[in-house]
């Protein structure tokens, strides 16, 4: 049965399903779920969840993660994409990239890597792309072709 602390940390309720990787467990592979995940052991690979990912103080995760929100108190090495809040807690050691528009970093966190805002990246891509509007030659009646003027 889930304790009150576990429910609070995963943001769920007792009726929610939580995939738990305990401190004496090591997993190498991929996890895909709609529910919350809590890692207190070691996971290397890909994680994709529509829920929240919690990496406890003893937890270590290496690889690629896509989730709704994340709360890291342990260590993470890789690429982390959160559609909502990414929280790096007191004892967190983070190496890699965080892709999220909402990031919370406590003062004692050790971080080496990149913070990427997907929303800003989308706006930058749109503004740097040339217009896809086709241009067609325009003819003006009575206008004579002229030599191009050189700019100095």
* Average pLDDT taken over every residue of the chain: 82
Domain boundaries, the chain: 4-119
Residue 80 has pLDDT above 90, yes or no: yes
Overall pTM surpassing 0.75 (yes/no): no
Q: Check residues 148 and 112 and name the one with the higher pLDDT.
A: 112
**Euclidean distance between CA atoms 56 and 121, whole angstroms:** 30
pLDDT tens digit sequence for 110-134: 999 999 987 766 666 655 555 454 4
């Amino acid at each position: 049965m889930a304790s009150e602390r576990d429910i609070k940390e995963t943001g769920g309720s007792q009726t929610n399903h939580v995939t738990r990787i305990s401190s004496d467990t090591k997993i190498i592979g991929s996890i895909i779920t709609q529910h919350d995940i809590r890692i207190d052991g070691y996971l290397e690979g890909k994680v994709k969840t529509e829920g929240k990912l919690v990496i406890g103080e003893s937890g270590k995760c290496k690889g690629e993660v896509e989730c709704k929100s994340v709360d890291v108190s342990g260590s993470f090495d890789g690429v982390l994409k959160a559609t909502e809040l990414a929280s790096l807690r007191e004892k967190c050691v983070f190496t890699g990239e965080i892709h999220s528009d909402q990031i919370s970093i406590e003062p004692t966190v050790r971080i080496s890597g990149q913070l990427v805002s997907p929303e800003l990246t989308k706006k930058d891509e749109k503004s740097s792309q040339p217009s896809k509007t086709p241009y067609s030659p325009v003819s003006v009646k009575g206008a004579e072709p002229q030599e191009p003027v050189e700019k100095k």
